[in-house]
Amino acid sequence: PLTRINVSLSLMTGETVDLSGFLSHERVAYIAETVERRLGLMGSGSCCQLLCGDRMLTRSARICDEGVTDGAVLTAVVIARSRDEESPVPWPPDFRGVEPPPPLSGTMVVLVLWLSGWFFGEMSIACALDTAMFCNLGT
């Protein structure tokens, strides 16, 4: 059943933060993002990992599937990433080793122009037939 879950968060510094208003079918990532916003971690490259007792919670799992119940005490561990540490996915991507696609050949340009003309010709004939058949029914 869908229930409201209130949890308290224990930080490694010993500070306790009360969090309320989560639904049992929401993802653990929602709690983690709420904690990251409260701690001012958004955009810093750091993130937090949540523990329930001695078990690490999976961010993609639902709160109820991880066994988090109303009144549970979660522990937040902040994982700081240094500015020098590279991101697992570099952004913007590095295209230095990638070859660009070949330029369009004259044959390809002629084919595209011919197919475009053929397509628009077919569409104009279909519209003319449609107009002739269905718009002149009353006359």
Residue 46, both tokens:
């750091």
pTM: 0.54
pLDDT value, residue 87: 55
Answer whether residue 89 is part of any domain: no
Other beta carbons less than 10 A from residue 74's beta carbon: 22
Does residue 12 lie within any of the structural domains? yes
Q: Is residue 69 part of a domain?
A: yes
Residues 75 and 108 placed together within one structural domain of the fold: no
Containing domain of residue 11, as a range? 4-79
Enter the tokens of residue 93.
Answer: 């991507």
Pairing state of beta strands 73-79 and 55-56? unpaired
CATH number, domain of 46, equals 3.10.20.90
Look at the chain and report how many structural domains it folds into. 2
pLDDT value for 126: 93
DSSP 27-39: BHHHHHHHHHHHT
Domain-embedded: residue 11? yes
In a domain, 96, yes or no: no
Q: What distances in angstroms separate CA 13 from CA 31, 48, 78, one per listed residue?
A: 19, 14, 11
Q: For the chain, 139 residues long, give each residue's pLDDT as a single digit of tens.
A: 788 888 888 877 788 888 888 888 899 999 888 888 888 877 777 788 888 888 899 989 998 898 888 888 888 888 876 655 555 555 566 677 778 778 888 888 999 999 999 999 999 999 999 888 887 665 5
* 110, part of any domain: yes
Query: In this structure, are 56 and 118 located in the same domain?
Result: no
